[in-house]
Amino acid sequence: MVDAQQDVKKMRPVYRNIGLAQLVKYRLPWAGKVSILHRISGAALFLLLPFILYLFDQSLASELSYQKFQAFTGNILVKIICLGLIWSFLHHFCAGIRYLLLDLEIGVEKSEANRSAIIVLLLGLALTAVVGLKLFGFY
């Protein structure tokens, strides 16, 4: 009976707490990276919601407030913050669609999940680049 208990203990997986120093070296799969970025982008969108609503209000209130809005958003720091918000929204949207497909059991195999995670990362960055070029006046 003692041997059976020892065999069970040997077969159990070992879960280790990962410290901040070990986190840099930890190899997270692409799906894990997308999951963490999905949470970060959702938190950023939630926390910056008052800023987003302020910008929306300033753009619609009156002609004078729209001119103030244009002057405020002309600042390079505000444009960089807006670019971060644009990435947050686009990544959160693309990853959300991925999770809806996973809930429907589409793409749940390891290789398919890995491929869809990479596609979400690249698509979010590509869409952000397109909108960012428009934001900074390149077209």
The per-residue DSSP string of 24-58 comes to: TT----HHHHHHHHHHHHHHHHHHTHHHHHHHHHH
Alpha-carbon dihedral sign for residues 11, 17, 22, 25: positive
Cα(87)–Cα(76) distance, integer angstroms: 16
Residue 92 is labelled as binding a ligand: yes
The annotated binding site for heme is made up of 92
The annotated binding site is made up of 92
